[in-house]
Amino acid sequence: MKRFTIAMVMIVWFAAIFGLAILNLELTPTVRAQELPVLMVENPQQEGTADWTISDMTFESNYPIGFTFKIKASSSGGAITRARALWYSPLLRPSETRNIQAQEGEFDPETGLWTATWEASAIMMVPPWVELMFHWELKDAAGNSFETEPTIAEYADNTRQWTRSESDAATVFTFDLGPEVKETVLDAIAQQQPQYEAVWGAPLPRKPRVVLFGSLDAWMEWRTVDDNAEESMIIGQTFDQWNAVEQVLFGGDMDAAIRELAYSTVVHEIEHLYQAEYVWSTRDVYDIPSWFMEGDATFFELEQSYDYLGKVQEMAANDVLPPLLVDPADAPRTDGDNARDGYDIGYTFIVWLREQGGVETHHQVMKLLADDVPFFSALEQVTGMSKEEIE
Ligand SMILES: [Zn+2]
């Protein structure tokens, strides 16, 4: 019954997007994302009376430096005066409005092709092996306009030998790692899949991609926004916009590292993708403390780096537990020197929450958060306790 409710909410949301589709197609893509329903458009959109002919529409990955879109087009209304390629995540969520990119096309009279290129830079990078969606906007000399149908492309690394493995729940890419790595990762995700679906009422709308590097050089190559002069280095990043978890493994005890990656890191990070999909995409209130979201993601770890619950119980016994349901500034941190406290206390809170009514309680809280119910009210409604009693 509860699953049904979530499904209905999603259908209504998609219907709302569809309803706005035709209305907003002529708007520039900087409008709010829910008003830019390119995903729902089944046929190319056209304004004016011209007949348009499209051919040779291609996408080429130039990984690691970017990608190129090409198109050949003509209109009965006259010469084409402008062509630009728009690209975005296939999971364009309301909160991702600003992530629509536009590349102006350049015309080559010799080939008759329009070419638009995106290049990675110090302010923007796209991780390898993610899916993106694109379409072209065309205008002719008579003022007619035309939009091609949105098309899915993949930002492939064609410069190396990658392996690709897919289950019902995820797609895993590995480079320079043993053949067992992808199986281990898919196994961990498969073990948690019923749990994700029970908490969220549905799987992710597109399979997440887990992209794993066994080489630091290969990893560094695409990370154009990193400041490598810094003493610390990013060795893993989850891109909820791109529905992808990207990680590098190097040095040390590889067997232990692979286990931790699969049974702790990846299953934790995938829960963040669910949070992005089902809470952040619809929520306008930013009152959910990070300890709660990190605690929830930590709850999905199949193996713990140490005894999280034991650590928190010890803090409680020593009377050094920080207050929980207070202003985030006073609540447990998930950054800085005591960053682990927020994760461990958050984890302990989720364990307690589930003791109140199992997975159903967990699911109900997430559903209320997705519906914009204030954080403390959501907890009070589901547990039937006041904030003070919960604390
Ligand atoms: Zn996390």
Average pLDDT of the segment spanning 175-197: 97
Average pLDDT of the segment spanning 89-104: 81
Average pLDDT of the segment spanning 153-163: 97
Distance 271 CA to ligand 1 centre (A): 8
Q: What is the pLDDT of residue 30?
A: 28
Average pLDDT of the segment spanning 370-381: 94
Distance 106 CA to ligand 1 centre (A): 42
Distance 308 CA to ligand 1 centre (A): 14
Q: At residue 375, does pLDDT exceed 50?
A: yes
Residue with tokens 């999603």: 10
Q: At residue 84, does pLDDT exceed 90?
A: yes
Where is pLDDT greater, at 344 or 39?
A: 344
Tokens of 198: 């029970």
How far, in Å, CA of 253 to CA of 355, rounded? 37
Mean confidence (pLDDT) of the chain = 86
Q: Which of helix, strand or coil describes residue 315? A: helix
141 contact partners, CB below 8 Å, separation of at least 6:
77, 78, 79, 80, 81
Distance 293 CA to ligand 1 centre (A): 7
Average pLDDT of the segment spanning 67-79: 96
Q: What is the pLDDT of residue 26?
A: 25
Distance 100 CA to ligand 1 centre (A): 26
Write down all domains in the chain, each with its CATH number in brackets.
2-154 (2.60.40.10), 163-390 (1.10.390.10)
Residue type, 264: S
Angle 19-21-22 from CA coordinates, rounded to 5°? 105
Q: At residue 102, does pLDDT exceed 80?
A: yes
Q: What is the pLDDT of residues 26-66, one digit of tens each?
A: 222 222 233 333 343 344 577 778 899 998 899 999 999 99
Q: What is the pLDDT of residue 23?
A: 24
Q: Which of helix, strand or coil describes residue 38? A: helix
Q: What is the pLDDT of residue 372?
A: 92
Q: Is the dihedral of CA 302, 304, 308, 309 positive or negative?
A: positive
325 contact partners, CB below 8 Å, separation of at least 6:
331, 376, 379, 387, 390, 391
Q: What are the angstrom distances between the C-alpha of 330 and each of 298, 308, 326, 347, 385?
A: 21, 21, 6, 18, 22
Distance 372 CA to ligand 1 centre (A): 22
Question: How many Cα atoms within 13 Å fall on the side-chain side of residue 37?
Answer: 18
Q: What is the pLDDT of residue 76?
A: 94
- pLDDT grade, residue 9 (50/70/90)? very low
Residue with tokens 């990013």: 234
Q: What is the pLDDT of residues 317-334, one digit of tens each?
A: 998 888 888 888 889 989
Tokens of 102: 């536009």
- pLDDT grade, residue 21 (50/70/90)? very low
Q: What is the pLDDT of residues 239-250, one digit of tens each?
A: 999 999 999 998
End-to-end Cα spacing for the chain: 31
